[in-house]
Every structure is written in structure tokens, then in C-alpha cells.
Amino acid sequence: MRMYDIIKTKRDGGELDDEQIRYFVQKYTDGEIPDYQVAALLMAVYFEGMTKRETTTLTFAIRDSGETLDFSGVGGVRADKHSTGGVGDKTSLVVMPIVASLGVTVAKMSGRGLGHTGGTVDKLESIKGLRTDLDIGEFKRIASEVGLCIIGQNKDLAPADKLLYALRDVTATVDSIPLIASSIMGKKLAANDDCIVLDVKVGSGAFMKTLDDARALAEICVDIGRAAGKKISALITDMSEPLGNSIGNSLEVAEAIETLRGNTGGDFLELCIGLSAEILSLCGFGDEEKCLSAAKKAIADGSALEKFARMVKAQGGDERCIYDPSLLERGKFSREVIARSSGYIMGVDAEKYGEACLALGAGRNKTDDEIDRGAGIILRRKKGDKVFAGEVIATLFSNRNEFDEAERKVMDGTLIGEERPTHGKIILERIV
């Protein structure tokens, strides 16, 4: 078999057979095919797409490029949630403690942020001492004893995805539905949970900019998961506006903790409750109403907060910040962004705010960039709010005292108009 022929078949709009797909994934993982040939193939896939069968085979080949986790000895139904990535998306820090407090076992591997989107691992590491680089033995022990453990990607799981993702990142081939679906599901299947809920984001801050594309991505992921024998569903959720009121690693942890303490509301809480109920329902907890009210109760009675505190402690973190979020780091410098006109906030552009956060130092442009965990944005106004000229729209934080670019992006990303806009729902569709 020659890589040249595989590239040519896809370039000419043909279908790759299973053997060709498995061949290029395995040989690339083994270092036997050079980047330039795989880059050419990825670009051909970007333009020509893949059939459902090709995408499924690619996903299984990515899963099989490394180990699959074996959870024998860890009790309970295991569930995972995966977001396709957004701005201000700290839902895992709330949803996983909620479902874990209700008896679901959560042994979750999460990613780091890249570009304008954040990652759960970076957020968690803003809790002093908390380790996300646990070995598989510790991971399983904490998952078994506490019922909740969140760590970073293990290098032995789906190694092909790590290589392919890095290559896609520098060849402008990230936003392709078959490549995103196989990347997400290859990792999820290697992590081997029983139930998976996908949070497929749509809007300016997401990879998928239109509802049709988000639906197509959700459907193929759900089909692949089911073909692998998993219980799986997807929620398509709005990412045209940042989620909640803060963006940036430690600011988001503080907001997640406040949510677990019952002190927040709005779009973020609504999404956390919806996702928690979806997981509970997949795990056989009961009907929609029962799952929704159990999720709300887990916040109201403090059991989700307590579960999160136990996880933080077990992973070496300073659990005092759970009871006093002001102990979390916040950038030494700050600047307030002021409205120049009066009216209603017509829209807060998630992508622009995400880029502003990147300019403040909260994210990375390259995978090995250092990040400023105290950098970020607190949104003082969101879509539909009234604002008067001279009032604060957002507060920027950073340890670098460089705010001009971020301020420009926040101004650009905030649209003020005369008529109050209608508020859409955060959960747009459910794909089963």
C-alpha cells in the first residue's frame, strides 16, 4: 500500500477503504509516514469530506492507535461529557460534581485550551497544588474512592489524535466535520466510559458556526458512539455569547464554585442543569423531570459542592478556595471597559471576547505557550442588559498590565443598539 495512492484517491473525491484508513493512521503514529503526506491527505479530506463509514473507521483507528482504559474494579456507571469547545465554558467543573454526587462515577480526561477556547485542565490547575498529571492507577483509585476525578489527556490514549491534531492546527484543517468527529470520538472511545453526553457548541465562539453544521457533527458523533456500543446523546448549545459572566482560568473556577454554592443563575446554570439531567437520564436515573430536579437539588443541598471539594483534596489541591473563592488568583492589574453610548446590549461576540482573553495572556497560541492563570474578563453586561454611556461593560484582568488590544476587542465585540433583543435558549436541540 502506498500513501501516495491514498492521497490521490481522496484528492479525486474517492472513498478510502477501511484498510487504507487503518494503514495511514497506524503508520503515521509509528513515525513511518512523513507529516507532509499526512498534511496533504488532511487537506484532501477537508475539501472532499468523508462518508459515515470512512469517519467511523477513522475514529476506531484513532482509538486503536493506543491503549483503551480498563475500568474493571471501579464500580458504578461511568459517564463523561465532552464539549466541542467554547468561551467561558466551565460546565465540567459544575456538571461532573453534580452527577458524581448522585452516584455516577466520573473518571474524566480533559484537554487544555488552545486559541480562543479554554480547557478544563488549565482551569483546574489554577487551584493551588491541584495535580492533573496523575498516573492511571491514581486516577482509578480516586475515581473509585471519591467517585470524581479529572485529569489531563494520557499520552498512551489515542496517540494518533495528538499527532493529527497538532498537524491540523498548523495546516488550517481543524474545522472539518469528519476530522473533528473522529478526533473527539477517538479519544472518548479510548477513555471507555459507559455513557457519553456531547455538548456541541454553535455560534461565533465555536468551531461550528451554523446550526446545520453543528447538527451534522452531533449526528455523526452519536452514530459512531452507538456503533461502538455506548449510550450517547448530544445537546446543541448556543456559543454566540460567552457562557456565564467570566472568562479566563481562575476567574472561571471562581464562577463554577459560586454556581455550586447556589449563588449564580442565567445561561450558565441553565446549561449545567440541562447537561447534568441529560447524563443522569442516559445513566438510567429516571425521567426528565426527575433528573432535572435531582440536579437542582444537588446544588441546593450542597452535595455537589462537597463532591468537588473531595476531588480537589484528593488531587492535592487547596480545598480552602472552595469555601472562599477569593483565595483564587486574580490578575494584579485591571482595566474597566466603558460603554461609549447608551442602549441595550444587542450581542456580546464570543469569539472576540475569547480573542481578548488570549491577548490578556489567559490562553495559548501554541501548545507550549505559558499562560497567565489570573488573566481574564468579568462581563458586567450581557445580551439584553440596559447600559448607559460611561457605565462599565467588562473588567479586564492581567498580570502584565497590557490591556489596549483586549480592550479594543471587547469594544468591537459588544454591540449596543436601541431595541431590546429577544433572548434565545441556551440548549437549542437534542440529538439522540
* Binding positions for ligand URA, rule: CB under 6 A: 84-85, 165, 174, 179-180, 183-184, 207
Tell me how far, at minimum, the Cβ of 300 lies from ligand URA, in Å: 33
CA 344 distance to own-chain centroid: 30
- 109 grid coordinates: 480526561
Centre a 10 Å sphere on the Cβ of residue 411 and count the other Cβ atoms it contains.
16
Selected catalytic residue, list 65, 183, 233, 240? 183
When the beta carbons of 57 and 183 are compared against ligand URA, the nearer one is 183
Selected catalytic residue, list 187, 230, 330, 352? 187
Tell me how far, at minimum, the Cβ of 323 lies from ligand URA, in Å: 33
Using the 8-state DSSP alphabet, how is residue 245 labeled? S
Q: In angstroms, rounded to a whole number, what is the distance separating the alpha carbons of residues 177 and 220?
A: 9
- 100 grid coordinates: 458524581
Whether 116 is a known active-site residue: answer: no
Whether 161 is a known active-site residue: answer: yes
CA distances from 154 to 135, 166, 337 (A): 8, 16, 40
Whether 423 is a known active-site residue: answer: no
When the beta carbons of 66 and 317 are compared against ligand URA, the nearer one is 66
What is the SS3 assignment for 340?
coil
Roughly what angle, to the nearest 10 degrees, separates helices 92-101 and 303-314? 110
Tell me how far, at minimum, the Cβ of 183 lies from ligand URA, in Å: 3
List Cβ neighbours of 284 (8 Å cut-off, separation of 6 or more).
77
In order, the DSSP letters of 259-288 are: HHTT---HHHHHHHHHHHHHHHHHTT---H
Of all residues in the shown chain, the one whose CB is closest to ligand URA is 183
Tell me how far, at minimum, the Cβ of 50 lies from ligand URA, in Å: 14
When the beta carbons of 23 and 165 are compared against ligand URA, the nearer one is 165
When the beta carbons of 184 and 356 are compared against ligand URA, the nearer one is 184
- 288 grid coordinates: 426528565
- 16 grid coordinates: 478510502
When the beta carbons of 158 and 273 are compared against ligand URA, the nearer one is 158
Tell me how far, at minimum, the Cβ of 207 lies from ligand URA, in Å: 6
| Among 193, 84, 102, CA closest to 431 | 84
Tell me how far, at minimum, the Cβ of 63 lies from ligand URA, in Å: 13
Whether 168 is a known active-site residue: answer: yes
Selected catalytic residue, list 78, 90, 116, 168? 168
Tell me how far, at minimum, the Cβ of 164 lies from ligand URA, in Å: 8
When the beta carbons of 59 and 281 are compared against ligand URA, the nearer one is 59
What is the SS3 assignment for 323?
helix
- 45 grid coordinates: 479530506
- 212 grid coordinates: 446545520
Q: In angstroms, rounded to a whole number, what is the distance separating the alpha carbons of residues 287 and 80?
A: 19
When the beta carbons of 199 and 349 are compared against ligand URA, the nearer one is 199
- The amino acid at residue 377 is I
**Catalytic positions:** 82, 161, 168, 183, 187
